[in-house]
Structure 1
Amino acid sequence: MNEHDFLADRFEAHRSHLKAVAYRMLGSLTEADDAVQEAWLRLSRSDTSEVGNLAGWLTTVVGRVCLDMLRSRAARREDPMGEHLPDPIISPANGIDPEHAALLADSVGLALLVVLETLNPAERLAFVLHDMFAVPFEEIAPIVGRTPAAARQMASRARRRVQGAAPTPDPDLTRQREVVEAFLAAAHGGSFDALVAVLDPEVVLRADTGLPGAGLRVVRGAAAVAGQALTFRRFGNSRSTPALVNGLAGLVNTTNGEPVSVMSFTITNGRIAAIDILADPDRLRQLDLAVLDA
């Protein structure tokens, strides 16, 4: 085995970890793959003879690549309403697909990723690298061009925003499914009171339809979300398949075999605290839903 092949093997051993870092940074599976590929190109052009911790070195490289991508994304974004839901990771209802295990090791639900989208690029990097992957601030600081103390403050600000806006999901998947089933039964049965009973008073519903300039449609509060959920009765010919969406109880809704929406539910203290719906036809067509038929 030559040196290039040896380096490639070492890189492949860290690929899943690096993609997990990039997905949390970017919220896009395609862009995460691009960031990991760029990390490989930088590794292949670098002298790593003095690198004692290759995993740590690669993690900071991916972080730097993602930071550049986020800054470029922010510079291109002319319409702040153009925000959309991050890419969902869909697994069968009976368990997370092995290929997705590393990506979802920290139960990175869509509700959390939506909040991460609101952070500025440097804050997002500091929070993701430190709080999710335990990268020391001394290693984060050079990436963002700040002192370790300043990097620590960035992560602290991000942490306060995340804790205040992203609900912590209940860990019991069985209970999550029961709540989702109760929600569906109430919606299809047209029972407003039953819907309100399964919703947290401060529930947030976010829907990404993909319409130009529409951004995320946001509905807040149990009464408003319950009223919106009653419209589900219009889609009586659709089929709802239970699934795990980013490790949480969710649904993939199809009509005539074609996906029409993916729904993720964040259940907190036995009630639905967040509903995230992807209904962008173009993005739905790109999803690999074959795993649900396995």
Structure 2
Amino acid sequence: MDSAATARFEALRSRMASLAYRLLGSAADAEDVVQDAFLRWQAADRDYVEVPEAWLTKVVANLALDRLRSAYARRERTVGSWLPEPLLEGDPMLGPLDTVEQRESVTIAVLLLLERVPPVERAVYVLREAFSHSHKEIAQILDITESASQQHALRARRRVRAAPRAEVDRAAAREIVEAFVSAAASGRTDRLVALLTADATGLSDGAGLSATLMSLTGAENLARVIRGGFKPTPAKRRLAGGAPAFHAAIVNTNPAVIATVDDRVIGAVILTTTHGLITTATSIAAPTRLHRLTRTWRTTPQEAPPLIAKW
């Protein structure tokens, strides 16, 4: 393949990776899909490809759909056992974030909701809301009718409305995380409860040690678990591989706490808020879900000191 064709693909790589990530919720799977698309681009008769972006969008979308359908058929993505891979602010895989809809579509809450959506409906939602494709274009990409695309989009939007909606700027995000870490480290349940909605929920992958996700509901219950989790012990330090530092960050457009040992991310707690209170705390610490977050963290300058330098 000539250098011009390679350059054309590389110019679109980030956009294609973002599309695949929003469809799959997995950075590793998204990277695999993009590589498969590159191999197809190499093998294609590119003289007949009038618009490379449209051609690649169709290829990537359908490769991702094939993966989703296969995973569902093998029951690898059952509700209650799956979480998205988190992405740090600035990661190009997050893709376009100019509109509220684009930022919303990549939050952990929406990615989890989309797991309950049939694959084609999910693809229509992503192509429409995150990439602003017309229903005519979506019909061509997914080989469906325009009316079917419209119906899928309407159903998906109804489902996504259930996700909490609250945007915060960088300064407000840091304030939320600072208050959360301070309350959690204080050992006082009442301080945590004051930051949570009454029906706040918690979701954790148990650092990958459990086959299913652990879920909690209610401010009191969640506060007690968070308080216990933030209490340092020698056993926890051994499990972490050292004494972690805790940082404020933005992950998947939401405020987040990131725990690191040296330059390795060992966990993230992503906070969803509404009216200044935390509605959901999602804890992700399984090493398989943190590879890309660690890679991005290592190459991102940290502008502020850690909230806790040594736990």
Q: TM-score range by the shorter chain?
A: 0.7 to 0.9
Determine if the alignment matches structure 1 residue 159 to structure 2 residue 157: yes
Structure 2 counterparts to residues 201-240 of structure 1, below 5 A: 201-209=198-206, 210-214=208-212, 216-235=213-232, 238-240=244-246
Task: Indicate if the aligned counterparts of 1:81 and 1:213 stay in contact, CA closer than 8 A.
Answer: no
Matches within 5 A, 1:17-96: 17-77=15-75, 80=78, 83-91=81-89, 96=90
Corresponding residue of 1:291: 299
Q: Distance in 1 between matches of 2:81 and 2:300?
A: 28
Contact between 2:84 and 2:289, CA under 8 Å: does it hold in 1? no
Find the residue that maps to 1:58 and give its secondary structure.
Answer: helix
1:228 CA displacement:
1.9
Match of 1:241 in 2: 247
Counterparts of 1:52 and 1:154, CA distance in 2? 28
CA contact (8 A) 1:20 1:104 kept: no
Q: Helix, strand or coil: the match of 2:84?
A: coil
Instruction: Determine the C-alpha separation between the residues in 1 that align with 2:249 and 2:270.
Output: 9
Q: 2:3 aligned to 2, 5, 8, which one?
A: 5
- Alpha carbons of structure 1 residues 129 and 257: separation in structure 2 relative to 1, 3 Å: closer
Q: Residue 173 and residue 268 in structure 1: after superposition, are their counterparts in 2 closer, same or farther (change >3 A)?
A: farther
Find the aligned partners of 2:129 and 2:67 in 1 and give their Cα distance. 21
1:116-127 correspondence to structure 2 within 5 Å: 116-127=114-125
Q: Answer yes or no: is the 8 Å Cα contact 2:258–2:267 preserved in 1.
A: yes
Contact 2:200 2:278 in 1 (8 A): yes
The residue aligned with 2:171 is: 174
Cα distance, 1:280–1:101 mapped onto 2, change above 3 Å: closer
Per the alignment, do residues 110 and 153 of structure 1 end up closer, same or farther by CA in structure 2, a change over 3 Å counting?
same
Structure 1 residue identity aligned to 2:155: R
Give the drift of 1:212.
Answer: 4.7
CA distance in 2 between partners of 1:259 and 1:15 (Å): 25
Question: Quick one: distance in 2 between partners of 1:226 and 1:5?
Answer: 56
Partner of 1:280: 286
Q: Distance in 1 between matches of 2:24 and 2:39?
A: 19
Distance 1:21 1:183, change over 3 A: same
The whole-number CA distance in structure 2 between the counterparts of 1:250 and 1:79 is: 25
CA pair 132-72 structure 1, distance change in 2 beyond 3 A: same
1:57-113 deviations in Å (ceiling 9; x for gaps): 21122111111111111112268356322111135xxxx35x456376633222222
**Larger mean Cα displacement after TM superposition, 185-194 or 24-33:** 185-194
Alignment of 1:174-193 (within 5 A): 174-193=171-190
1:293 is displaced (CA, Å) by 6.0
Contact 2:121 2:153 in 1 (8 A): yes
Q: Is the 8 A contact 1:39 1:62 kept in 2?
A: yes
State the partner residue of 1:102. Answer: 95
* Cα shift at 1:268: 2.4
Per-residue deviation, 1:253: 1.8
Q: Secondary structure at 2:45's aligned position in 1?
A: coil
TM-score (normalised: structure 2): 0.81
Equivalent pairs counted in the alignment come to 285
Structure 1 unmatched runs, 5+: none
Identity over the aligned pairs, expressed in percent? 36
State how far apart, in whole Å, the 2-side matches of 1:285 and 1:25 are.
Answer: 19
